[in-house]
Each structure stands twice: as structure tokens, then as C-alpha cells.
Amino acid sequence: MCKNYLLLVILFFYSLGFTQNNVSVSGKLVDENLKFPLESATVYFSKVSDSSVVDYTISDKNGNFNFKIKGLNFPVVLKISYNGYLDFKKAFSVIDKDIDLGTIALKENVSSLKEVVVKSEIPPISVKSDTLEFNASSFKVAPDANVEKLLKQLPGVEVDTDGKITVNGKEVNNILVNGKPFFGKDGKIATQNLPADMIDKVQVTDTKTKKEELSGQAASDNTSTINLTIQEDKNKGLFGKATAGYGTKDRYESSVLFNYFKDTQKISVLGSSNNINSVGFSMDEIFDNMGGGRNQSMYVNSNGSFGINGMRFGGNSGITKSNMIGVHFSDEWMNKKTNPNASYYFSNAISENRNRTNRTNLLPTGNTSTNSESNSKTDNTGHAINVDFEIKIDSTTTLYFSPSLSKNRTLDYYDSRATSFDASNDLLNENNTNNAQEINRNSFTNNLNLYKKLKRKGRGISFTMNNDNSDNEVNLNTKTNTLFYQSGNPNDSRNQNQLDKDRKEVLEFSLGYSEPISDSLKLTFETSFKTEKSINNKETFDFNSFTNKYSDFNPLLSNDIIAKKNIFNGTIGITISASSWVVNWYKFK
């Protein structure tokens, strides 16, 4: 009992000391002459020793700011920066208690005699409209550091061991370079390969859909986008990596990643070839280069292989030989009125597996043993094309469309033999299986967005069209023969051919109109129509020994399903931009 009380006392004083170590630094910012509050000013502490940022905050609409930080036992400088005003600085030898700085009046950044703007120190962090901006040169990294290491130095930015990035708790799902996708939207190749000393600014905004981006609507998704701006004199470069290896038993591995960009043009080529069950590139690298984003389908297998949009990378258990090549291109044409972005991927993986098993079952009724042997081979070939274009038809009209096409073919072969014996080594049963399967998957998707700005700011018309078409076919031929010698069970012999066709057709249209009531209030009207059709046809035929064909229809293993669905949806909503949230106060279907 005494030990428990002692533990509670220790925990109490520990938590008390921890609480006392947290301090508050607060104040209010106003204009020196007019006394109105200054909203979105950057307030930050930096070390005197190396000027690195310790913590930062932003003033609210009333000009108030408040730090909740742990006590600082080293010299720091409080710096306040606001566009159009002179910087404010105040030094502290330590910060070990709460501090109220009261009202701080900032002076306008002009000379009263010559009306010349006085040059101010560039703040490491600033807020411009809905963008949080970090000045890369304000954060110290090693000379050979990449962008990922730079991001780890930014306050509020976290990068985990898998490369997942969060900013102030919000996940980053898009990474751009100079405002454009860089070898895919998720951008792990950019963060791990771009040198940090090339970066001028790191800008963080809320992630928007293409429709929200074109219409200027507030973001509906709780994720962030990072835009890396390149220093003007370094906006060209060539970088990449290559690996090659050769070992015993003719095992080999090779991969190459080549990236080139100059101004707005970006070209990426990656490829790999090996026979050691290696993908050659990580899933993130391939996913990023394929224009990874919100409309991708993925799966991961326990053996390390994975698939993206019907294409498989890596192989199954056994010995796998895989080859992959991809090309990515993006640019700006016609005086930046047309922005193309395209990629093509080819992959092939051949896996072979041989397995032999001898198993003994220890049972109260007597031991049994099973000897089995199997061989399998899988040959998977895939092609994928992803394209997106953004075309500025005129100053008020923008058209965006992004078609994607994939084609995948898989050939599977499997045969096995198994025999079981009792304790006297008498044959119990035996089984022979031979399967051959061909799978063909084809898909086509397209997203089209058209937005027209009208005369009044915030007024506009939007039209979207999305389609998703897929056609999958599985042809399976299975031969299995099981003989029972002691149980009295009837022998089971099966020789069948099964053709499974699965087709999906989805088409959706929507038309919207937005009307501003005031600077912060906007009405939105939208109507949409979506039609879905799915067809699943499975036909199974047993082998007829007289005709020597698969001609006996098996109704128990066959079906034909057709499903259709039409959805009409209408929405009237109110957008309050000051609060960045949307209320649908009337909805009908």
C-alpha cells in the first residue's frame, strides 16, 4: 500500500513539474496610427545562436496571438512580421513564465520623406490568403539534403518512416512543383530526389477537387497540398538513380530512374528488370509516377507484390522474373493556355513455383501420411495510359479532361498430384488437378470539367461529365480427379470450362450555377444525373466424352445477372466563405 501511495506522489509532482514547464506568451497587434487589429501576422520565436525557428503562430482577426510552449532555457528573439509594416523584434534570455506583451503597435513600412519602402527581413513563415508559406532558406539542412529532410525541419510538418506527410495534423495527399504535378500528385519521388537547396518556398493549402479549383469553391476534403517553388536560377535540372547487380545461379537485378525538367517541361523515365522477386521500385514511386491520386485502385499482397489500376508489379511465391518501363511527360503549351500531363506504363511478371510436401498426421485413430507435389506458372502483362489536359479557352472559360486506359492479361497454369496413406501404408485416396486460366481486364475512365466565369465575381456555370467503363473476362479450364480406396465415398471427377464475363458502365452528368449574394455569402444550385449498368454472365460447361467438347451446360454453376440504376439528384446550398463550410439546406432526388 505504501508503495502505491509513493508512486502516486511521484506521479503528482512529475505532472506538476511538467505543467509548470509550459508557458504562455500572448499579445495583440494593431496599426500604430489607426489602431485597427492586424490579422494573419506571422509571430515566431527563433534561436539567437543559429536563427532557427522554435515555434510560430498567426494573429487572429482581432490581432491577438497566444503561444502555448514549453519553457525555453536559451536566448530567443520574438519576431513579428506583417506585409507592409516594419518588423518587430524583442529578445529574451529565457522564457520560464507566462508573458503578456500587451498591445504591440506596428509601423507602416514607408519613409515619410521620400516615400521609399524600407526593405524588411523575409520571415521564415507567412500566411497569404489561404496559403501557409515557409521560406526554405530560413531552415538549416545539410548541403546534400533532399526536400524530405527540409520538410522535417518545418514547424508543424511531420514525415513518418513511410514518407507520409502531415501539416498541423492534416495529411498531405498532393505535392506540386511550381504549381504543377511532379511525376504524380503524391510526389514522393520529388521529396526524396529533389535537392533542398533548389527550393525557394514551401506553400501549403487545402486540397481541392478540380471542380472546386476551377470554380474557386472552398475545399471540402480535410487534406493538404504542398507546392514547392523552385529558385528561378535553378529551374532546370537532371537527376536520377540507377542500380545493377548480378549474382550466383544467373540471378540479376537492375533499375533506372531518370528525371529532367526545364522551366515548365518535365520528363520522367523509369524501368526495372530482375529475376529475384524484386519490384525494382517501391509502390510509392510507381504510384506517384503513374499520376497517383484519388481515382486509383490498389492492392497489396502478402508476398510483397502489389497492383495499381489492374497492373501487377512483382510476382508470387517462387521464382519471379519481372520487367517494367514507364514514361511520364508534362509541359505548358500555347502561352500556358494548355497544360498536358501524360504517362504510359508497361509491366510483365512471370512467376514459377514448384512445391513438394510430405506430411504426417498424428491421430488417435491411427496416423496418416500425405505426399503432394505441385507446379504453377503465372504470366502477367499490363499496359496503362493516363492523360490529363487543362485548356484555358479564354480568360473566363477553362476545360479540363483526364482519360485513363488500362489493359491487363494474366495467364495462370497449375497442376498438382497428392496421395494419402494409412498407418499400414495402404492407399487411402489420390488426387490429380490441372487448371488453366486466362484473365483479361480492360478499363476506361474519363473526367471532364468545364467552368465558365460570368461578369460578377463568384458567379459561374459548371459542367462535369464522368464515365467509368470496365470489361473483365475470366476463362477457367479445370480438370480434377479424386479416387477413394477405403472410405466408400464415390470418386469425384470433374472436367469443366467456365467463362465469366463482367461488364460495368457508369456515366454521370452534372450542371451547376453559383450566385454571390455578398462577399462572404453565395448560393449554389446543382443538378446531376447518373446511370449505372452492370452485367455478369457466368457459363459453365462440362466435358462431353462423346463429342469431345465442352458442350454439356451446367446450370448450377452458371448465372446471368443484369443490374441497372438511374439516380437524379438536385441540390440547393449556401456557402459561407468566412467560415469555410457549406450547408445544403434543401436537397431532392
How confident is the chain (589 residues) per 10-residue block, as mean pLDDT?
53 46 88 89 87 84 88 89 88 90 89 47 78 87 87 88 84 84 64 83 88 76 88 78 87 85 82 78 47 44 48 59 88 87 89 92 90 94 91 92 94 95 92 96 95 90 95 96 89 94 96 87 90 96 93 94 94 69 48
Res 495: pLDDT? 95
The SS3 assignment for 309 reads: coil
Res 304: pLDDT? 47
CA distance 323 to 348: 5
Res 17: pLDDT? 46
Res 478: pLDDT? 95
Contact (CB, 8 A) for 381 and 348: yes
CA distance 540 to 258: 49
List helix spans (H) across 378-498.
Answer: none
| CB crowding 289-312: b at 16 or more within 10 Å, else e | bbbbbeebeeeeeeebbbbbbbbb
Contact (CB, 8 A) for 320 and 350: yes
215: region left, alpha or beta (phi > 0 left; psi from -120 to 50 alpha): alpha
Query: Which residues make Cβ contacts (< 8 Å) with residue 489, sequence separation at least 6?
Result: none
| Residue 452: strand pairing partners | 397, 461
> CA 288, 289, 293, 298: dihedral to nearest 10 degrees?
-80
| Residue at grid coordinates 525555453 | 72
Residue-range domains of the chain with CATH? 1-122 (2.60.40.10), 129-234 (2.170.130.10), 236-588 (no CATH)
Res 365: pLDDT? 84
Q: What share of the chain is helix, strand, coil (3-state, %, to 5)?
A: 10, 60, 30
Res 16: pLDDT? 43
* Positions of E strands within 485-520: 492-516
What is the end-to-end Cα distance of the chain in Å, rounded? Answer: 66
Query: Which residues make Cβ contacts (< 8 Å) with residue 521, sequence separation at least 6?
Result: 574, 575, 576, 577
DSSP state of 189: H
Q: Which cell numbers in the block locate residue 417?
A: 498430384
Res 589: pLDDT? 44
This prediction has a pTM of 0.69
